[in-house]
A and B are shown apart, each in its own frame.
Chain A
Amino acid sequence: MTIHAAEQAASKVLLIYDSLDKGTTREGNVEAMQRLLASYGVQVTLVRSDHYQRGQMDAYAKVIGIHNLTDLKESNQDFLQDVEQYRGDYLHIGTRVPAAVTASLELRVHTGVPGPIRIAIDRLVQEAIRTEQVTIIEHAVGTRYGSLSPAGAPSEFPYGVQNGRYGYAAYFERGNISELAMSHLLKDWLGKAGEARSYVIFKEVYPFSDLQLLERLADRMYEAGIPFIASVQPVFMNTDYPAMKRYMETLKYVQSRNGSIIANAPVVASTVNLSDTTLKGKMEGFIDVLADYGIAPLGLGADFYWTYDQRYAEEGMSFTDSVVLFPNKTLKYRIQTNESKAFPFSAFSMQPGFLEQFGHSGTFMPAMPMNTALTFDFPDTEEKLDDIVERLQSSWISFSDYKHASHTVRTPNSIIMSRSGSVTINGQGVNLDVVIKKVSSDYVYKEKEVKSFETLFNVQNKIFIVIIVLTLIAFTGFLIVGKRLYKRKYYK
């Protein structure tokens, strides 16, 4: 095995789950784990345990097992046997803990504890989480993470624990503080050092959004000293129109007011046409249009499932090494795969409401273990905008400038980079001294068709019209005369 291959294997994780457990509070926890792993830049292979093949985990340096089902025996004996003999790192979540994990962590658990529960991690706490029955770690050796206890009970037990190769957490659900607690455990278990940062990102920015409001947002954020990211909707046609120029003028201004621009993934039609391979050209085309205008797109904002789609990953994401992954809305896969695409820089998108669930002690919001992006939809009114800016100002999170991290976007025609705050397009520094230019509406939308002999045909048309009119008049005259003659002859 070469060093490179060994490194690759080390950063690959096999994620095995027994059930998505739809309809219970655990629904969505597999996806939450996938998102967390993505934010640590880990490439994941997702396998349901009944599809697991003997020896499969040997190709991976790390394996995570999520066991949601409480009432069924493990159906796949291959998996159970492999876990016991596995030589790599293993993190277990949920029920039916393998003997090797129990032995290594000297685990003693108490099952069937009814909810609600309280979880605390790093000065953040969420009281009274409604859930089904949980398991509590009564005893374990190793590093402890956070605490979990029945709501209102005085005693605190660790949320999760890690010792050497093994890690364990009994409870993990989507949308509450367990995601944060898990992210702390994961960071150490994955061996990720390095400081993580928090960002603010605005999405739903369209060419026909209120551009003046976008300008105002840039000003307000600049005055408040909060750097931010705008994830802008891509445009694939009419990019030479004045409307596009106005859009880009505004984006350029945003860039000059401490805003960073990333391209948002396009809207995908639900129609599936596998033969279509235009995505790459379209995305690169959009990046080039921005770059030519002096705007530096420094990454991509996309729904998380894009990383599990071969077509999107290859064609729609490969131009960049930096992504912000949003929670999935509607899944519209082209070629779904169980192997994710990993990125050197990836931020975990959080809705503002997520953090508001937690109480915290101390003045500053504790730093998150992974890169996070507090995500807002671009507001459509000034009141909503003011409200967001005020909330950001009063929050205790210190937001970082996206440009300060390393990002590279590469198309056949342009290379856009940021290194420690300096942004370049094809090696040239980006001009940050921008005044919005007024874009004139004058534009030739329709090319006039080239016509030959135009005057000749015009004259000819006129002559014909005169001749036809004269003929009609003469014809009517003849008719009248004829009718009279006829009457005179036969009606006497």
Chain B
Amino acid sequence: MAGTWWKLKIGQRLESLRRYVSPALLAAVGVFTITCIALFVPPYIGMADNGDYFRILYSNGLYFNAPDYYSQYFGYFIKEYGIFQYYNENAATLFSSQSIFIKAAIWLNQLFNPDVFDIRFQAAIFVVLYTVAVYLLVESLTWKVASKYAYPISIIAIFLFGDTAYTAYFNSFFGESIVFIMLIFVFASGLLIYRNRYNDYVMMGVLLASGLLLTTSKQQNAPLGIILGIFGIFLMFIRKERTFRALMSSTLVLLLLAGIGTYTLIPKEFVNINQYHAMTRGILMGSDDPESTLEQFNMDKQYAILNKSIYYELYTTVDVDSEILENQFYNKYGFVSILGYYVTHPSKAIDMLDLAAKSAFKIRPPAMGNYEISVGKPFRAQTTFFSGYSILKAKMAPKTFGFVILWIVLVAGLYMPSFVAAARAKQIRRMIRFSFIFIMILMGLSGIAVSIIGAGDADLAKHEFVFTAVFDLVTFVTVSDAIRRRLWSRQNEDSALLTSDTGTHAHEGAKVVM
């Protein structure tokens, strides 16, 4: 009796809390506050350059102005950069959606200081977007859901999205920050369409914008646009109006084209270091006979000597950008031929996948430090501030590809019944939830495949970012759906407000299910 009384009491309290702070708002404010403390209160948390900044920085009109910049590679986060005051010969060497954010940050920065760029302006833009993204995702899971379920979901969201392993990327020039934010937007827009929470046209816009920004952020993400374009097909049928269908099909085609375009139009982004590692830390390393493998690629078998070598070694035989490698090594293989090799040698592919799984659960790449040199921490020191989730994940997750498969089977198994039921009932909108979970999983898998094909086992923790992010997002949604009892049953309550599949809104009068 007493237990029931307490439950009732807590329930009432939560309901009264809801009048002031919705669960989504609570999650967004929580994540915003923690992230601001991490990024904007000393000691500032960010990420050290691993040598990748140069290209994106110089092409956007910034330069390294710290005199000892190179000695801080990998070790320390640097927050200030110079802004070119004269003609920049490196301008526009590559297009990436990342440039849009850097340009915006520079513009914002120049309102205050025209000479020195402070990376925290970029972080500020990202934090705002991130907060909105988290709000939308949590809203898709907690809207019209009983408070006793909704608030625990918000708390989990804060624990996961406030983790500095993710947010430290905002204070860096790595594309991962955009990838993560846009992945959340894409997923949230899909789930909100499923919940019929907001106007479908607005959500379509969010999906298009975030999908485009995600796909064009780096060449490795080209498959993401293609996956979205193809498997988003169900979205076209959620409404019957011709305008909607025409617009949605254009959206999907645009995403598909963006994927293809990203792959073909940014050729040199598959940089030498990655191409070098794809061979030495991938194909050669996995091969039982590197010499015959090299001959299959029509290369000099003497390159077997580079087997397992890492570019980042301090002292090496050959410069990764040297003429000899340009002419006789990189010319002989590319993304397609490596993919072909793994397809024809599945056992090697499985070995590499297992290797990949070892790093697939690390959010924070172990190679880069988080603090500025002035903080006085050792070289490559990493923060533990609000990192409970990432540390737990890196320690606890079983690091085999078998686990990844089990996870996929589990998630698919949990959602499949509701998907089949929706398909039978011809309720296309209800099919959207699993479609998006499926899309996300495919994106994650493509992240693993691209990182192995693209750079072997080198820098796996960073290259596999898409997978690790997708794993967290999908697991978060699954756990939330389990909490609010919507995995395979009562799905009709999720979209109970739909009178038909035309998507007419009937928000008013909907009852909160207790």
Contacts and interface: CB of A to CB of B under 8 A. Distances in A.
B73 A238 contact: no
Contacts of A241: 304-305, 307
Interface string B204-238: 00000000000000000000000000000000000
Nearest to B68: A272
Nearest to B329: A208
Contacts of B379: 273, 275
B262 to A, nearest CB: 29
Contacts of A441: 289, 291-292, 301
A59 B71 CA distance: 33
Nearest to B327: A380
| Interface band, chain B | 35 or more
Interface in A260-297: 266-273, 275-276, 278-279, 282
B305 A236 contact: no
A238 B318 contact: no
Contacts of B73: 270-272
Nearest to A209: B324
- Which of A238, A242, A269, A270 is the most central at the interface, judged by chain B CB atoms within 10 Å of its CB? A269
Contacts of A446: 288
A236 B291 contact: no
A125 to B, nearest CB: 35
Nearest to B50: A271
A58 B265 CA distance: 65
A275 B75 CA distance: 12
Nearest to A265: B315
Contacts of A235: 305, 317
Interface stretch (A99-107, A243-251, A317-325): A243-251
Contacts of A206: 317-318, 324
Contact of B318 (A242, A267, A271, A279): A267
Majority secondary structure of chain B interface residues (helix, strand, loop or mixed): loop
Interface in A441-491: 441, 445-446
Interface residues of A, number: 35
Interface in A198-221: 204, 206-209, 211
A237 B305 CA distance: 8
Contacts of A244: 305
Interface string A125-140: 0000000000000000
Interface string B152-177: 00000000000000000000000000
B324 A266 contact: no
A234 interface: yes
Contact of A271 (B303, B307, B312): B312
Interface in B303-325: 303-309, 311-319, 322, 324
Given A204-B324, A207-B305, A267 B319 contact: yes
Interface in A34-50: none
Contact of B304 (A242, A271, A278): A242
Given A237-B308, A238-B304, A241-B307, A276 B314 contact: yes
A440 to B, nearest CB: 10
B316 A269 contact: yes
B314 A273 contact: yes
Contact of B314 (A242, A246, A271): A271
Given A208-B305, A243-B304, A246-B302, A236 B324 contact: no
Contacts of A275: 379
A233 interface: yes
Contact of B305 (A247, A270, A272, A380): A247
Nearest to A235: B317
A207 B317 contact: yes
Contacts of B313: 236, 269
A207 to B, nearest CB: 5
Contacts of A211: 302
A279 B315 CA distance: 7
A232 B345 CA distance: 36
A238 B291 contact: no
B377 to A, nearest CB: 15
B287 interface: yes
A246 B302 CA distance: 8
A210 to B, nearest CB: 8
A275 to B, nearest CB: 8
B47 to A, nearest CB: 15
B317 A266 contact: yes
B328 interface: yes
Nearest to A271: B73
B301 to A, nearest CB: 7
B354 to A, nearest CB: 14
B289 A271 contact: no
A270 B317 contact: no
A205 to B, nearest CB: 10
B289 A445 contact: yes
B331 to A, nearest CB: 13
B351 to A, nearest CB: 11
A267 B314 CA distance: 8
B314 A243 contact: no
B317 A233 contact: yes
A268 B327 CA distance: 21
Nearest to A377: B323
Given A238-B304, A441-B301, A267 B51 contact: no
B315 A237 contact: no
B291 A267 contact: no
A236 B287 CA distance: 20
B290 to A, nearest CB: 6
> Of B71, B308, B313, which is in contact with the most chain A CB atoms at under 10 Å from its CB?
B313
A279 B309 CA distance: 16
A272 B70 contact: yes
A265 B173 CA distance: 33
Interface in B351-393: 379
B419 interface: no
Contacts of A204: 324
A235 B307 CA distance: 12
B300 interface: yes
Contact of A233 (B288, B290, B291, B318): B318
A491 B320 CA distance: 73
B311 to A, nearest CB: 8
B263 interface: no
B74 interface: yes
Contacts of B324: 204, 206, 208-209, 380
B272 to A, nearest CB: 13
Contacts of A233: 317-318
A17 to B, nearest CB: 21
A243 B316 contact: no
B314 A278 contact: yes
B316 to A, nearest CB: 5
A282 B315 CA distance: 9
Interface in B469-493: none
B279 to A, nearest CB: 12
A271 B51 contact: yes
B50 to A, nearest CB: 9
Contacts of B300: 208
9 contacts: A236-B317, A238-B305, A238-B307, A269-B314, A273-B74, A276-B314, A441-B291, A441-B292, A446-B288
Interface of B: 51, 70-71, 73-74, 287-292, 300-309, 311-319, 322, 324, 327-329, 379
Interface of A: 204, 206-209, 211, 233-238, 241-244, 246-247, 266-273, 275-276, 278-279, 282, 380, 441, 445-446
Given A238-B305, A241-B307, 6 more contacts: A206-B318, A208-B306, A238-B309, A243-B305, A278-B314, A445-B287
The 7 closest A-B pairs by CB, nearest first: A208-B302, A266-B315, A272-B71, A243-B305, A243-B304, A267-B319, A271-B73
